Amino acid sequence: GENVEQHPSTLSVQEGDSAVIKCTYSDSASNYFPWYKQELGKRPQLIIDIRSNVGEKKDQRIAVTLNKTAKHFSLHITETQPEDSAVYFCAARFTGGGNKLTFGTGTQLKVEL
C-alpha cells in the first residue's frame, strides 16, 4: 500500500520567515496530493492540493511543489504569521486505492513573534 513520510515533525520559525514542509510517497501511481491544516481542537482543513499533471500551484502565501520523478512534494508558506501556527498534514492518493488518502505523520508549525 501507499506510504507517506513527512518532515520535519516540528518546525519553529520567526514571524515573516518562510516555512517548508516536505513529504515523500512510495507509490509512483499516486495522482493527487492535498495539504491539510489542523488547529488545536478543530477539524483538518484542506488548504491546497496538487495533481500529478502539475508541478507547482500557488495560492497567496502558500504554494505546493511536486517532483514526480523523486516522488516528493512540499508545502511552502511565505511571510508566516502567528495564525499559521497549527499542525499540517500532507496526503497522497494512488489510483489503485479506491480514492483513499494516506496521510503523513504531521508537522507542528509554530510561528513566533
Partner 1 sequence: SAVISQKPSRDICQRGTSLTIQCQVDSQVTMMFWYRQQPGQSLTLIATANQGSEATYESGFVIDKFPISRPNLTFSTLTVSNMSPEDSSIYLCSVERSSGVGEQYFGPGTRLTVT
Stretch that binds partner 1, among 11-19, 55-63, 70-78, 93-101 (CB under 8 A): 93-101
Query: Residue 17 and residue 28: Cα distance in Å, rounded?
Result: 33
| Minimal distance, residue 103 CB to partner 1, in Å | 5
Residue whose C-alpha is closest to residue 66's, from 76, 55, 75, 80:
55
Can you tell me which of 34, 66, 86, 111 binds partner 1, judged by CB under 8 A?
34
Q: Considering the complex, what minimum distance in angstroms separates the CB of residue 2 from partner 1? A: 11
Q: Which is nearer to partner 1, 9 or 18 (CB)?
A: 9
Pick from 49, 53, 81, 75: nearest CA to 62 = 75
